[in-house]
Structure 1
Amino acid sequence: MEARNHTEVSRFLLLGLTSNSDLQTTFFILFLFIYLVTLLGNLLIILAVSSDSQLHTPMYFFLTNLSFNDICLSTSTIPKMLVSLQTHNQSITYLGCLAQACFVTIFAGLENCLLVLMAYDRYVAICHPLRYTTIMNPCFCSFLSILSVLISILDSLLHSLMMLRLSFCTKLEIPNFFCEHAQILNLACSDTLINYILIYFMMIVWGGGSASGIIFSYIQIVSSIWKIPSARGKYKAFSTCGSHLSVVFLFYGTCFGVYISSALTHSSSKTEIASVMYAVVPQVMNPFIYSLRNKDMKEALRKVIIRVPSL
């Protein structure tokens, strides 16, 4: 197979979820609806927290960051797919593909960090309630958020810069609806060993470290809740963690499904479905999880919805 240097590569082809023209219209309507719901739901969360002074706490500060990140992650993948479905043009420039992969990695990594920070917030609130306001002060929360953004950007840039040294083959078809670093690597004809080592190293260190942090936090939380004498107190303490746990299981469950699917099957359709599960589903479900399971959030959303028609 003839290899071409990346400077000669002008475009990749995103094969999308289907080549059936009849299904493309259905997918366009479905994903347009999902994208609009994602935008609306997460914007309502941000507005509700911003407009209600009672929600100006570290937990809801991290929640607004998560909602904004979910909007960004969905925007980095879905609009390009919608344009491709509407125009029947599946091509994407080399730099555009690399940029999309870079943004997806940034926002997916930031989501990972924010879930860890939210777990730490719940750990401090339940295990060290008397020191909660001292530890989780606004400056410290802002520092943690900025640090998470910087780490996510540096990680993504490192992967992208390592990608620039590669040469690519004549077959430039990506069996997905958006670009990912791992899928771009599959098209390279030059040696990608260092790139894969970097990907798996960061996955183990960052992903494994984050998961370990969340697990450790909840072990401590469960241990503290178990010591609460009243059943009502136990329920009240654990209910503050219910929404976060649901989001954690949804995000990590879908990410784990992507890697398992990639490892166990060579079917492009199954890989695409797995990618939808982590790049689309958590972002549209998170607002529902937090609004349906949280009384304070329900009340704040009700006030926002009532106030909107009067604006």
Structure 2
Amino acid sequence: MPTPAAPPPAPVVDPVAPVLAWYDEHARELPWRAPDRTPWGVLVSEVMLQQTPVARVEPAWRAWLERWPTPADLAAAPTSDVLRAWDRLGYPRRALRLQECARVLVERHGGHVPDDEAALLTLPGIGAYTAAAVRAFAFGRRAVVLDTNVRRVLARAVDGVALPAPAQTVAEVARAAALVPADDATAARWAQASMELGALVCTARAPRCPQCPLASSCRWLAAGRPDDAHAHRRRAQPWAGTDRQVRGRVMALLRGAPEPVPAAALSDAWPDTAQRDRCVRSLVADGLVAELDTPDGPAYALPA
């Protein structure tokens, strides 16, 4: 008996209009989207949001912008204050890069965030995604904004796969660029809307397909939501006992210390001497911790 033919794939439908209509109704009210947002505020939000949830970023962003509302304010701040304000947002090197970025903005751009993508890419800590996002969200300009959420939406709706490949490809960027509307205003809204859809509906682990504006044309849904073909390459990174955890413990100890912490007292952060010393050396090398010579021996503190 012949094998039944597989159903044809769902036709590719331009996703822009339905996603924009959905966004008009469901967009979250976030402070970096408010009419009074500044380009600097948008840039700060994009750096903070890297690998950090919105719920944790929003209060930190508000406090940060109240304290350092312009690049010049952050550029002049003591680095120790910057690292303390970063607190538990994670990946504290982002705080150092953000302050370096502020200093470059003051030195080379008159204290203003440029709207040119090439100029944005020259700033410390600003990669292709962040440059495109700032251009779109701060200035309302056309850009190919391709973060994890947008990649997932397009992989499912257009390519019919559960998740995009672990590494971004040239073909993927070209496909995303072809979908971006031609005019600035609609392109900027599409960037925000497609990202919001991935964050709220087309999520990685529990997509809410019945609520998706692309459900009727999504190739992944039409194919029966097949499993991720790259699952074997996506290993969850462990946390407990890793150097990253130790580095976080050391940073937390130093953030809370009013004076330099003697080397011996770092055992309060982590008991394993060899691992702790290795992590402290890496923090010093990254510029996140300063090693001081005192009459009682070495001590550690946040950079001045």
**TM-score (normalised: structure 1):** 0.31
Structure number, greater radius of gyration: 2
Return the structure number with greater helix share.
Answer: 1
